[in-house]
Amino acid sequence: GDPWSGQMALPGGHMENGETCEQAAIRETMEETGLSVTVNRLLGLYHTLNGHVSVAAYECISSTTEVHPDNEISQYFWSSEKDLLLDNETYRFGNYVVFGLTYRILRDYFS
């Protein structure tokens, strides 16, 4: 698996040759969730704390919330900002804990 296996994360992955960041976001979201999306806007450019991975995060829109997860996803949930409990640089939702890069992206999105 990848270094993030077992963690709460947003859909994502690597760009393929000739792909733009937007095209990769659309493809990875479809592959991982089955959701057909369009990119609404760039949320920001992020780097992992060790600087080895760069991430372009996008806000995407879909006409459905019906997810068909692939084998990379063991669980998923939909949440509004008001349902996420901010707790010392993490978000908590029930038994789920969102931290690290995913936390940073959501924090900036909600601010």
pLDDT tens digits, 72-87: 898 999 998 999 999 8
Burial of 97 (0-12, 13-18, 19+ CB in 10 A): middle
Residues 46/58, Cβ–Cβ less than 8 Å: no
Within a domain: residue 57?
yes
Look at the chain and report how many structural domains it folds into. 1
Supply the pLDDT for residue 64: 95
As a whole number of angstroms, the distance between CA 99 and CA 62 comes to 25
Percent residues over pLDDT 90 in the chain: 74
Structural domain harbouring 67:
21-78
Within a domain: residue 92?
no
